[in-house]
Amino acid sequence: MRRLIHAVLTIGLLAAAVTVATAQPALAAQICEKYGSQPVQNGRYIVQNNVWGASTTQCIDTTSNGFSITQANHNNPTNGAPASYPSIFFGCHYGNCTSGSGLPVQASTSAFTGLRTSVGMTYPGSGTYNASYDLWFDPTPRTDGQNTGAEIMVWLNHQGSIQPIGSRVGSASIAGATWDVWFGNIGWNVVSYVRTSATSSLSYAVNDFYSDAINRGHAQRSWYLTSIQAGFEPWIGGTGLAVNSFSVTSGGGNPDPDPDPTGACRVNYRPTSWQNGFTAEVTVANTGTAQVNGWALNWTFASGQQVTSEWNADITQNGTAVTARNLGHNAAIPPGGSQSFGFQGTHSGSNTTPSTFSLNGTACTTG
């Protein structure tokens, strides 16, 4: 269930149970049931239809790493609640929990502060909607019912005369972009971050937005993250909206959703060095038989090398240990396919090429 706005839902609706579609295949399932859902990636994520704010028809087709809206007959007033929130999520939503997520997790722990997520989306040319993350927090580690702590919304894009709950209270610079910040309370705090320039992909640390909400007095470090959801709120139409890729990764660099999706990989590492500096182009090839959906490439520098900037990946370094994670637009690597990224760095007189790489915890060949 999405949320109560302007008293458009009754308490009975908020307490409604999520219906799980158990009779459909794991992939390429169509969901038209209002609260129907479908596990993907062996239950690591769940796709949900979630037509909570309208009686109009909505159907979605699931993929291995997302979904697309194939039918949406919505026509809700734009000064009220949206019709639905179809999404893919990680964690627990009204008792419907993904496998092995480790959520709920307290926001004061390293397990929380290390969480990152990425998404890639497609937008149609018509309709009134937002494209958004929904991050849910509760004062207790609950797995069912309505969360009562904070709802953090991250709007990548929006079309039409719609706005977040509450009023604009400021701006923030997070995840390499500028966001208008809105705040309201509808029985729980709703903090919405609206990107000032639309994007179809996003990669960020969950804690970056949550820390900003804490600093504004709208959230607490003692609360628990219960789910990470990415999808759309359509008011009018919605057909053609799609999540093409979605991932959640842990602080250790290995994606929680699927620790070994490929079985085989190959890395080509091509450095160009000069005095005390270098660049490197890295190509990660999937030589296995299954598609990679969300990747983290790990390696260790010999000594003295430090990454200073990157492109087509989000790179973190701790001492000599380095992790490169996908962005929203390049999360998928099909069998026989590859993704490339690069970075610039410094070195202290020696720029030895790393000898070993691992993709999502699986050792890769090189060359």
Sole residue written with tokens 């410094």: 346
Determine whether 310 is an active site residue: no
Bridge partner residues of 296 (DSSP): 325
Closest Cα partner for 360 from 306, 315, 308, 296? 296
Burial of 249 (0-12, 13-18, 19+ CB in 10 A): buried
Pairing mode, strands 87-93 and 96-97? antiparallel
Determine whether 233 is an active site residue: yes
CA-to-CA distance for 298 and 6, rounded, in angstroms? 48
CA-to-CA distance for 50 and 23, rounded, in angstroms? 18
CA-to-CA distance for 160 and 165, rounded, in angstroms? 15
Sole residue written with tokens 């001492």: 319
The number of CA neighbours under 13 Å toward the Cβ of 213 is 28
CA-to-CA distance for 300 and 320, rounded, in angstroms? 5
Catalytic residue among 33, 233, 281, 310: 233
Cα–Cα distances in Å, from 250 out to 111, 137, 196? Answer: 7, 18, 28
Closest Cα partner for 83 from 122, 47, 54? 54
Contacting residues for 138 by C-beta, under 8 A, at least 6 apart: 104, 147, 148, 149, 223, 224, 226
Active site (catalytic) residues: 151, 233
